[in-house]
Each structure stands twice: as structure tokens, then as C-alpha cells.
A and B are shown apart, each in its own frame.
Chain A
């Protein structure tokens, strides 16, 4: 990651923005933003299948001195109720935070709070 003076960009991305994109477009958007040194807070997270695909894509794009990977944490889908299962209602994954691994570190996570830290001395493009 290149150190910048301009501060760190933390972008909150709306559910509407993410829903407008197809799954591959969504992953491309996220990875491009993170590779540019931005931290994203997604209003609606990724499915576990998408997360695995994102990890796979990340591994393909690692550049040893500039991009070492991602830090990602979020809340999965709520379990659908019995009635929702019958009606075929699919629950969506909830909020997720994703950033460059050399910039963002997860401190703790419980059912209500994901605590992260931005690593000092780094900055976004």
C-alpha cells in the first residue's frame, strides 16, 4: 500500500447500489475499490458463495509489494422463519466491512458489533 497524505477513504455503499450490479460486477467493484486503498462498509453483504469467489479473485490479484489481500468481516444471512421458508423468502446477508489487509484490521466481532482498526501510517489513494 502506498502511503498518502490525503487521509483514508471509508465509503458506505448502499444496498441499492449493490443490487444494481450483477454478482460478478459487485465483486469487481469491491475489489477495485479495495485495491485502490478504500475501506467499504456494505449495507448489504455478500453471500458465502460470493465471499469465496472474492477470496479466490483476491488471491489471483495479490501483488506482493502493493496488495497483500483483503480484510473482511460481516454478518451472514438471518435464518428464515418456517413461514418464510414455505413462501420461499430468501434472507439477504447483512452489513459487511471490507478493506485492504494492510490497512484494516478486525479487533473483535460479536452478534452486535464488529470492531475494526485502521492501521496507523497507511492511507488511501
Chain B
């Protein structure tokens, strides 16, 4: 025990200057693993899960959140409300659900209708969050318009963003491409499915989202 009692110097600094609580949105296009990541975070820190996952796009069609998830990185911690948002897309075609994934016409139309509402909800949540984990598929081209639009929005609002380069367990994953594509943001390669490199993600989340900064609305 040191001069200041329990805790390291870093945790004392965080208590004085850093945030203690932040609402963090998990954002990204459909099917990049947002809910898998949310489940991973919750399972590791609360023993709970956020929601179901599926290979069919737009499985998450309403935002879900879990309050007071305490994430630690060894010498400091941050209490977070984790918001798992529906995937943002510029188009929703019910025929894709029928032709590619075998849903009936009624199921596909219903899913498409709910997916459009989910996209709107995701965009509106941007007003109410303190930081974003932007999930990208490390096997895909990172310069999609959805990624660029979300990043541009966050930068315009001066919100901190951390890019989770997900699916690095896949053979054709290229997290280095993501790192070079977005050098202005921290990029953490991760497999939300296997948990590979999750510790690094948590550590970066705590340090990156603890910083105080003035939000622009």
C-alpha cells in the first residue's frame, strides 16, 4: 500500500482527470459481428449475453443495452453502458433474405421492414453515446460507404472511436489493411468468436474511452 492507499498511480490519475462512466455504442454494417462482440464483452465481465447471432444479416433489429458493465485493464477501470446497435446499411432488400437465406416471402418482408427501422434507430443513438466501438470485418474492403459515413459522423461529433478489426480467425483476414486505412484511430485486431486478443481490446477501451473530451452535437 502506497502513500495514497489502495490503487496505482494510474488509477489515481484516472479518478482525478478521467471519465468514470461512459455509454459505448457498438456500431458497424450488418454481419460484421457486433452482437458476437457484445456477447463476448458481457460474458467476460458480467456472465450475461446481449442477444442472438445469425449468419442472416440484420439479426439485431432493435438496439439492446446493458448498463454498468465494469471493464478493467489491470490498473484502472471504466464503468460502461454497452449499446449493441442494429447494422447500418444504405439498402435493405427482402429478396436477398429469400434467395440467399431461404426465408419465406412473409418472413423476409417482415425482417426487411424491421431492419429499416433498426438502421434509423442506430443513427439516432449516435446522439446519446459517449464513444463507439466500430466493428469492421477484417476479411472485407474497409472503404465501404457505411464505414466512412459512421467514422465521419463520429469525427464531426468529436466522439472517440475504436475500430475492432473482427474475424481475424478467418483465413483471409487482413487487420493490417484496416490499420493502414484508418491510422487516425486505434485499431485492435480481434476474434469476437474465439475471444482472441479480447484483453487488448478491453485495455484499449478503458484507456481510450476514459479520456475526457467535449462532445459536439
Interface residues of A (CB under 8 A from B): 47-49, 51-52, 55-56, 58-60, 62, 64, 68-74, 76, 101-102, 106, 108-110
Contacts and interface: CB of A to CB of B under 8 A. Distances in A.
A52 B123 contact: yes
B193 interface: no
A24 B143 CA distance: 26
Nearest to A69: B91
Contacts of A62: 91-92, 112, 116
Contacts of A56: 119-120, 123-124
Contact of B123 (A55, A64, A76, A101): A55
A101 B152 contact: no
A81 B116 CA distance: 39
A56 to B, nearest CB: 5
Interface in B127-155: 141, 143, 145, 148-153, 155
Given A55-B88, A59-B117, A60-B120, A102 B93 contact: yes
A72 B90 contact: yes
Interface residues of B, number: 28
A101 B93 contact: yes
Interface of B: 88-94, 109, 112-113, 116-117, 119-120, 123-124, 126, 141, 143, 145, 148-153, 155-156
Nearest to A49: B156
B92 A55 contact: no
Given A59-B92, A72-B145, A73-B145, 6 more contacts: A48-B155, A48-B156, A52-B149, A55-B119, A64-B112, A101-B91
A90 to B, nearest CB: 11
Most buried by A among B88, B93, B145: B145
A70 B156 CA distance: 23
